[in-house]
Chains A and B, each alone.
Chain A
Amino acid sequence: MTDATQALIEQITSARAEQRQLRIVGGNSKAFIGRATTEGEPLEVGRHSGIVSYQPVELVLTARAGTPLAEIEAALAEQGQMLAFEPPHFGGGATIGGTLACNQSGPARPWSGSVRDMVLGLRLINGRGEHLRFGGQVIKNVAGYDVSRLQAGALGTLGVITEVSLKVMPTPAVTLTLVQEMPADQAIAQMNRYSGLPKPLNGAFWHDGKLYLRLAGAESAVNGTAQQWGGERLNDADTLWQQLNNHQLDFFNADRPLWRFSVNSTAPHWQSEQNWLLDWGGSQRWLSGEGDPAVLAEQANAAGGQVSLFRGGDRQGEVSPALAPPLQKLHQRLKDAMDPDGIFNKGRLYGWM
């Protein structure tokens, strides 16, 4: 529980004055995300930590960016609440600031929203060393541009997040997981059909010939739906969903590149001879193995979305989806608007930025 704002501002201001690069580090649990860069001295946000305020009846929690997710989740659990976006911890130490910067959400994402969806406001130090406050601690707020949610996925390239206010939600009374055996294309159809029904679906992934469906909500609703849908009920399912979320399943362990496809949930299954795991009801698809980035990008495009090289592989090249020229120009201008001297996380998101 320390407030390191002043130290962070000083390090940023002097880095700017001396034209030095800074590499923003939270819990270092997601160092593998983005491009491999060695440039810059570390700016340790992990020491800026602690829950600033938490009002369960307002469904709002505010924490310093370096606060470990584990600490936040423990405080929420005491009140029967949770982070509905189920952020991954990736081996432990993950912080709320890093989670937002990397826009990381877990299996419930299509139904309960993402970390970006739950952000109400934040504080951030821009490249000029100014400590700014955007959004607020209330659920609705449309004054000014939404600089808070803009940070989701920016990988720290637009500023150093120092504090985040989030909407939190009640923990569902009951959860239950059903398993059904079926091939991928049938699972895609099933996940989409079920997602279109007013049932308490809250997780749906397919791997290795099995479709896993998680129901969460009021007891009566969960049991009623489980009876209608059928399938085998899985014991100790929480562990499975956690392993999925934190990439601890065998599928993720292989020493091979891991590609993340974010596509139309109904896109037909392709390259079925390859090693796939389909999550988020079909809209987030993981491919484990070597691939030609250009060919994969083509496939992602045909499926209505994008592909990124999530882990492993060649991290000197681009790992994020390429941008059309007018969009690339806009990204560069936005970068200049927030970090005019380009001191934050150079090359982490895109080689050209």
Chain B
Amino acid sequence: MTTATADSSNADIKSVLAAEFARFLPPDSIIADEETQKPYECDGLSMYCEMPLLVVLPETVAQVQQVLRLCHQRGVPVVARGAGTGLCAGAMPHSDGVLLSLAKFNRILDIDPLARTARLQPGVRNLAISEAAWPHGLYYGPDPSSQIACSIGGNVAENSGGVHCLKYGLTVHNLLQVEMITVEGERLVIGSAGLDSGGPDLLALITGSEGLLGVITEVTVKLLPMPEKAQVVMAAFDSVQTAGEAVSAVISRGIIPAGLEMMDEHAIVAAEAFVHAGYPTDAEALLLCEVDGTREEVEEHIQQVAGLFESMGASIRVSRDDAERALLWKGRKSAFPAVGRISPDYYCMDGTIPRGKLAHVLMAMQDMSAHYGLRVANVFHAGDGNLHPLILFDANMPGEFERAEAFGGKILELCVAVGGCITGEHGVGVEKIRQMAIQFGDAEIAQFHAIKAAFDPVGTLNPGKGIPVLKNCQEYRALKPDGMQPLSHVHGSTL
């Protein structure tokens, strides 16, 4: 794509920027050489990668402001990066821009046990919050499977969820306050220590905005009391349909499980081979249903849930202690890497559907699987309708990644057709930008652009992500015919 003249002007701006950054950033906070930049070329979706002009790792909020001000003055794109575990290429660098890593902002600033809050720098790892809160009998609710690595700043930017969302909510439900630096380098404080601040809910608007509206430099989250007791029922079903009905039956009983996860036969087999959790490998579908609360409540509900599953023909196993509970969950939590062992590569999708449509969608997916000649394994946040089909492929086979991508696109179209959406928790980024037009019309997309412009009039924050450019816009000419931003290179690898 790039021409020789563009390359040389890039080199000019790169050295000018590096020199200006060097005036306020320590030398090791500026990465200009290709080899050291390499780990930043992609996020968890490594099929999409790009090298930035520069990587910077500021250490103070004032430095973040200066970086943004400078880039704003020069019209240079800025892409914020947390831990780089994102699965939609949201943190993929811009070839003419600066990658702003928040990795050095890794301090827990304050835990207030009485108020049940934690004030955090954006680079703090999700799990580290709960680890710091445990001694006070508290924890942080949203628990993405990537929680060992992902950052709270990234969680806010993606509105991340976890297996406990149905009962405890997504990131957006667990936030009190965010400090954000605008593209112009101005500091905003959104929210407060109180609940429901006056005026339009900007906190919600920022959450899930994928680094397109500002750079988050501080986050205050709510902490929850650790439940007295938690127990899990594993139920093996001989049909996906019945397992789906069982999910609805639990909800109809008025029980909101802390976690309610489903795996299909391919995921069960892969997970069992990987962690030996004792999953029945002959089952068509497996449900993990966790109940938490007071001792009395858990005993009452576990009995009801176990009885219900048995009456629907499932064979069940109830965890006797926390070790067994952890083991049963381990299979689910390592389902992605487990599937990674049965296939050279896999592509993780993230659609949401109304729960009642589950059997229909799984069946349709089997047909598509045959059509594209690619296997698919399914793990499913059954409680909240969030489907993660894992499409198995081999990047070394010519055309397989393209087929996997086309297959994935069809799944997302199906999700929208049955009343769901194209992404439940992984975000749009670069990856799902084409599918945005399935879920939204031109008027909605134009409205998104207007909102973006309110925060970032010139459009230099994470450009080319999240919101597709409309066909009737000028920029459309620079795009491929299908409306996707051109990528400099695409390669496959295990996620």
A residues neighboring B (CB under 8 Å)? 55-60, 80, 103, 105, 109-110, 113-114, 116-117, 126, 130, 132-134, 136-147, 149-154, 157-158, 169-171, 173, 189, 192-193, 195-200, 217-221, 223-225, 261-267, 280, 283-284, 303-306, 308, 320-321, 323-324, 326-327, 330-331, 333-334, 336-338, 349-350
Contact = CB atoms under 8 A, between A and B. Distances in A.
A144 B448 contact: yes
A56 B355 CA distance: 11
B159 interface: yes
Contacts of A263: 192-194
A283 B205 CA distance: 23
A285 B296 CA distance: 33
Contact of A173 (B116, B201, B254, B381): B254
Given A140-B165, A262-B192, A217 B170 contact: no
Interface string B275-304: 000000000000000000111110111000
A306 B467 contact: no
A130 B137 contact: no
A169 B200 contact: no
Contact of B199 (A55, A56, A133, A349): A349
Contact of A126 (B158, B170, B447): B447
A139 B198 contact: no
Interface string B121-153: 000000000000000111000000000000000
Contacts of B374: none
A197 B447 contact: no
Contacts of B422: 143
A218 B301 contact: yes
A140 B173 contact: no
Contact of A142 (B192, B205, B424, B450): B424
B386 interface: yes
Given A57-B251, A266-B114, A330-B455, A137 B419 contact: yes
Contacts of B213: 145
Contacts of A197: 137, 225
Contacts of B211: none
A146 B424 contact: no
A284 B194 CA distance: 7
Interface stretch (B7-15, B73-81, B180-188, B363-371): B180-188
B248 interface: yes
A196 B116 contact: yes
Contact of B200 (A140, A173, A189, A334): A334
A289 B443 CA distance: 47
Interface residues of B, number: 94
Given A139-B352, A196-B114, A147 B447 contact: yes
Contacts of A144: 428, 436, 439-440, 444, 448, 466-467
B199 A265 contact: no
A142 B426 CA distance: 8
Nearest to A56: B252
A320 B199 contact: yes
B203 to A, nearest CB: 8
Interface in B159-174: 159, 161, 165-166, 169-170, 172-173
A139 B385 contact: yes
B205 A149 contact: yes
Contacts of A55: 354, 356
B417 interface: no
B408 interface: no
A193 B170 contact: no
B424 A170 contact: no
B201 A116 contact: yes
A236 B112 CA distance: 36
B199 A153 contact: yes
A72 B421 CA distance: 25
B194 A103 contact: no
A220 B354 contact: no
Contacts, number: 287
A133 B444 contact: yes
B343 interface: no
A111 to B, nearest CB: 10
B226 A138 contact: no
Contacts of A60: 354
A327 B188 contact: yes
Contacts of B138: 196
Contacts of B199: 153-154, 320-321, 323, 331, 349-350
Return the 5 tightest CB-CB contacts between A and B, nearest first: A304-B193, A305-B194, A149-B204, A262-B194, A220-B296
Nearest to A151: B200
Given A130-B443, A143-B436, A305-B194, A153 B201 contact: yes
Contacts of B454: 330, 333-334, 336-337
A273 B193 CA distance: 25
Which of B161, B213, B294, B300 has the most chain A CB atoms inside 10 A of its CB? Answer: B294
B451 A146 contact: no
B114 A280 contact: no
B447 A130 contact: yes
B255 interface: yes
A56 B299 CA distance: 25
Nearest to B170: A140
A116 B200 contact: no
B228 interface: yes
Interface string B192-219: 1111111111101101110001000000
A304 B194 contact: yes
A150 B300 contact: no
17 contacts: A132-B444, A134-B444, A136-B420, A137-B354, A144-B444, A145-B205, A150-B204, A151-B201, A152-B204, A157-B200, A262-B195, A303-B194, A305-B194, A320-B199, A327-B188, A330-B188, A350-B199
Interface string B253-272: 01110000000000000000
Contacts of A303: 193-194
A165 to B, nearest CB: 10
B293 A200 contact: yes
Interface string B381-396: 1001110000000000
A140 B451 contact: no
Given A197-B225, A198-B225, A338-B447, 6 more contacts: A116-B204, A140-B386, A141-B352, A326-B186, A331-B200, A334-B200
A261 B196 CA distance: 10
Given A198-B227, A323-B199, A338-B450, A141 B424 contact: yes
Contact of A192 (B114, B227, B252, B354): B114
Given A196-B116, A321-B198, A146 B204 contact: yes
B85 interface: no
Contacts of B423: 141-143
Given A55-B354, A110-B195, A141 B421 contact: yes
A126 B150 CA distance: 36
B169 A117 contact: yes
B483 interface: no
Contacts of B299: 220
Given A58-B354, A139-B165, A320 B198 contact: yes
A320 B213 CA distance: 24
Contact of A158 (B112, B200, B296, B354): B200
A264 B194 contact: yes
Contacts of A336: 454
